[in-house]
Chains A and B, each alone.
Chain A
Amino acid sequence: MTITDPSAFGGQPSGEDDPSVRLPLVEGASENFTTVTDAVAGIAEIPVERTNRAWIICFAISLSLLGMLGLLILHLITTGVGVWGNNNPAYWGWPIVNFVFWVGIGHAGTLISAILFLTRQNWRTGVNRAAEAMTIFAVVCAGMFPGIHIGRVWVAYWLFPLPNQMAMWPNFRSPLLWDVFAVSTYATVSLLFWYMGMVPDLATFRDRAVNNTRRIAYGIFSLGWTGSSRHWHVYERAYLLLAALATPLVLSVHSVVSFDFAVSQLPGWHTTIFPPYFVAGAIFSGFAMVLTLMIPARQFFGLKHIITMRHIDVMCRILMATGLMVGYAYSIEFFIAWYGGVQYESFAFVNRAFGNYWWAYWIMVSCNVLIPQLFWSQKLRRNLWVVMIVSITTNIGMWFERFVIAVTSLTRDFVPSSWGYFSPTWVDITMFIGSFGLFFTLFLLFLRFLPVVAIAEVKTVLPQAHAHGEDHGESHSAGGSAAAPASRHDA
Chain B
Amino acid sequence: MSDQKKHDEIHGVVAYFDDVDSVMSAARKVRDAGYKKWDTYTPFPVHGIDEAMGTKPTILPWIVLGMGLTGMACGLLLQWYTNAYDYVFLISGKPNWSLPANIPVTFEVVILFSAYTAFFAMLGLNKLPHLSNPLHKLPKFRRVTADRFAICVEAKDPNFDADRVRAILGAETSELEDCPVDTSRAALPLWFHAVMALVTCATFIPLSLAVKGRFATSDKPRYHVWPDMDFQRKRKTQTGWEGFEDGRSMRLPVEGTIPRGELRDDFELYFGVAQGAAVPPRATYEAGVMGGDKFEWLSSFPTAVVVDDALLERGRERYGIYCGVCHGAQGNGLGAVALRAAAIDAEQWGWVSPKALQSDSAKGYTNGELFHIAGNGISSMKGYGSQITPKDRWAIVAFVRAIQASQALPKAPADLPAGVDFEPVPTIKDVRLSEASVDAPASGTEPAGEAR
In residues 135-152 of chain B, which contact A (Cβ within 8 Å)?
135-136, 141-147
B80-110 Cβ-contact flags toward A at 8 Å (1 or 0):
0011001101010000001001101101110
Q: Which residues of A contact B130 (CB under 8 A)?
A: 223-224
**CB of B76, distance to nearest CB on chain A (Å):** 10
CA distance A175 to B105 in the complex (A): 10
CA distance A167 to B213 in the complex (A): 12
CA distance A236 to B60 in the complex (A): 11
CA distance A405 to B131 in the complex (A): 52
Cβ of A204 and Cβ of B39 under 8 Å apart? Answer: no
- Report how many residues on chain A are interfacial, defined by Cβ distance under 8 Å: 76
- A237 in the interface (beta carbon within 8 A): yes
Closest chain B residue, CB of each to CB of A201: B145
Closest chain A residue, CB of each to CB of B47: A466
Cβ of B128 and Cβ of A171 under 8 Å apart? Answer: no
Closest chain A residue, CB of each to CB of B41: A227
Q: Assess A227 versus B42: contact at CB under 8 Å? Given A172-B105, A192-B119.
A: yes
In residues 321-357 of chain A, which contact B (Cβ within 8 Å)?
none
Cβ of A252 and Cβ of B107 under 8 Å apart? Answer: yes
Q: Assess A224 versus B131: contact at CB under 8 Å? Given A207-B145, A229-B40, A246-B115.
A: yes
CA distance A165 to B141 in the complex (A): 57
**CB of B206, distance to nearest CB on chain A (Å):** 13
- B49 in the interface (beta carbon within 8 A): yes
Which of A32, A169, A224, A242 contacts B129 (CB under 8 A)? A224
Q: Which residues of A contact B108 (CB under 8 A)?
A: 178, 181-182, 185, 249, 252, 256
Cβ of B58 and Cβ of A172 under 8 Å apart? Answer: no
Cβ of A33 and Cβ of B147 under 8 Å apart? Answer: yes
- A161 in the interface (beta carbon within 8 A): yes
Closest chain B residue, CB of each to CB of A34: B147
Cβ of A238 and Cβ of B60 under 8 Å apart? Answer: yes
- B50 in the interface (beta carbon within 8 A): yes
Cβ of B112 and Cβ of A168 under 8 Å apart? Answer: no
Q: Which residues of A contact B125 (CB under 8 A)?
A: 234
Q: Which residues of B contact A113 (CB under 8 A)?
A: none
Cβ of A171 and Cβ of B44 under 8 Å apart? Answer: no
A176-191 Cβ-contact flags toward B at 8 Å (1 or 0):
0110011001001100
Cβ of A171 and Cβ of B146 under 8 Å apart? Answer: no
Closest A-B pairs by Cβ, 6 of them: A33-B147, A169-B82, A238-B122, A207-B142, A223-B129, A224-B130
A-B contact pairs, 18 of them (CB 8 A): A33-B147, A165-B225, A172-B83, A172-B102, A173-B91, A173-B98, A207-B142, A208-B142, A208-B146, A225-B128, A226-B133, A227-B41, A229-B39, A238-B119, A242-B118, A252-B107, A455-B43, A471-B52
**CB of B116, distance to nearest CB on chain A (Å):** 7
- A203 in the interface (beta carbon within 8 A): yes
- Taking Cβ atoms with an 8 Å cutoff, the residues of B that contact A are 19-21, 24-25, 27, 39-53, 55, 58, 60-61, 64, 78-79, 82-83, 86-87, 89, 91, 98, 101-102, 104-105, 107-109, 111-112, 114-116, 118-119, 121-123, 125-126, 128-133, 135-136, 141-147, 210, 213, 222-226, 228
Which of B19, B24, B126 contacts A231 (CB under 8 A)? B126
Q: Supply 9 further A-B pairs (C-beta < 8 A) apart from A224-B129, A233-B55.
A: A32-B147, A155-B226, A165-B222, A172-B83, A178-B108, A182-B104, A227-B43, A457-B44, A472-B48
Which of A185, A225, A466 contacts B145 (CB under 8 A)? A225
CA distance A210 to B3 in the complex (A): 35
Cβ of B112 and Cβ of A231 under 8 Å apart? Answer: no
Q: Assess A234 versus B39: contact at CB under 8 Å? Given A226-B133, A465-B46, A471-B52.
A: no
Q: Which residues of A contact B21 (CB under 8 A)?
A: 467-469
Q: Which residues of A contact B128 (CB under 8 A)?
A: 223-225, 231
CA distance A188 to B86 in the complex (A): 29
Cβ of A236 and Cβ of B45 under 8 Å apart? Answer: yes
CA distance A224 to B133 in the complex (A): 7
- A377 in the interface (beta carbon within 8 A): no
Q: Which residues of B contact A225 (CB under 8 A)?
A: 128, 145
CA distance A155 to B230 in the complex (A): 14
A183-217 Cβ-contact flags toward B at 8 Å (1 or 0):
00100110011001000100110111000000000
Cβ of A229 and Cβ of B44 under 8 Å apart? Answer: no
Cβ of A226 and Cβ of B41 under 8 Å apart? Answer: yes
Cβ of B89 and Cβ of A219 under 8 Å apart? Answer: no
CA distance A40 to B104 in the complex (A): 40
From B44, B60, B82, name the one whose CB has the most chain A CB atoms within 10 angstroms: B44
Q: Which residues of B contact A169 (CB under 8 A)?
A: 82-83, 86-87
Which of B89, B122, B222 contacts A173 (CB under 8 A)? B89
CA distance A223 to B129 in the complex (A): 4
In residues 210-267 of chain A, which contact B (Cβ within 8 Å)?
219-220, 223-238, 241-242, 245-246, 248-249, 252, 256, 259
**CB of B224, distance to nearest CB on chain A (Å):** 6
Cβ of B40 and Cβ of A181 under 8 Å apart? Answer: no
Q: Which residues of A contact B116 (CB under 8 A)?
A: 188, 192
Q: Which residues of A contact B122 (CB under 8 A)?
A: 196, 234-235, 237-238
CA distance A224 to B128 in the complex (A): 7
Q: Which residues of B contact A448 (CB under 8 A)?
A: none
Which of A237, A248, A455, A471 contacts B111 (CB under 8 A)? A248
**CB of B382, distance to nearest CB on chain A (Å):** 41
Cβ of A241 and Cβ of B61 under 8 Å apart? Answer: yes
Q: Which residues of A contact B60 (CB under 8 A)?
A: 234, 237-238, 241
Cβ of A177 and Cβ of B39 under 8 Å apart? Answer: no
Cβ of B53 and Cβ of A229 under 8 Å apart? Answer: yes
CA distance A223 to B213 in the complex (A): 40
CA distance A196 to B129 in the complex (A): 12
**CB of A462, distance to nearest CB on chain B (Å):** 9
CA distance A181 to B59 in the complex (A): 29
**CB of B126, distance to nearest CB on chain A (Å):** 4
Cβ of B225 and Cβ of A189 under 8 Å apart? Answer: no
Closest chain A residue, CB of each to CB of B103: A178
Q: Which residues of A contact B109 (CB under 8 A)?
A: 181, 185
- A144 in the interface (beta carbon within 8 A): no
- A10 in the interface (beta carbon within 8 A): no
From B21, B45, B128, name the one whose CB has the most chain A CB atoms within 10 angstroms: B45
Q: Which residues of A contact B136 (CB under 8 A)?
A: 224, 226
Cβ of A229 and Cβ of B228 under 8 Å apart? Answer: no
- A302 in the interface (beta carbon within 8 A): no
Q: Which residues of B contact A394 (CB under 8 A)?
A: none
- A426 in the interface (beta carbon within 8 A): no
Q: Which residues of B contact A460 (CB under 8 A)?
A: 44-45, 47
A428-466 Cβ-contact flags toward B at 8 Å (1 or 0):
000000000000000000000000000111011000111
Closest chain A residue, CB of each to CB of B52: A471
Cβ of B105 and Cβ of A467 under 8 Å apart? Answer: no
Q: Which residues of B contact A189 (CB under 8 A)?
A: 111-112, 115
- A285 in the interface (beta carbon within 8 A): no
CA distance A196 to B121 in the complex (A): 12
- A37 in the interface (beta carbon within 8 A): yes
- A170 in the interface (beta carbon within 8 A): yes
- A489 in the interface (beta carbon within 8 A): no
Which of A196, A220, A233 contacts B131 (CB under 8 A)? A220
CA distance A165 to B224 in the complex (A): 7
Which of A182, A226, A228, A456 contacts B44 (CB under 8 A)? A456
**CB of A478, distance to nearest CB on chain B (Å):** 15
CA distance A206 to B213 in the complex (A): 48
**CB of B323, distance to nearest CB on chain A (Å):** 44
- A152 in the interface (beta carbon within 8 A): yes
From A189, A233, A238, name the one whose CB has the most chain B CB atoms within 10 angstroms: A238
Closest chain B residue, CB of each to CB of A200: B145
Q: Which residues of B contact A163 (CB under 8 A)?
A: 210
Q: Assess A459 versus B44: contact at CB under 8 Å? Given A169-B87, A172-B101, A182-B104.
A: yes
Cβ of B83 and Cβ of A241 under 8 Å apart? Answer: no
A110-141 Cβ-contact flags toward B at 8 Å (1 or 0):
00000000000000000000000000000000
CA distance A385 to B44 in the complex (A): 35
Q: Which residues of A contact B142 (CB under 8 A)?
A: 207-208
Which of B126, B210, B223 contacts A235 (CB under 8 A)? B126
**CB of A272, distance to nearest CB on chain B (Å):** 14
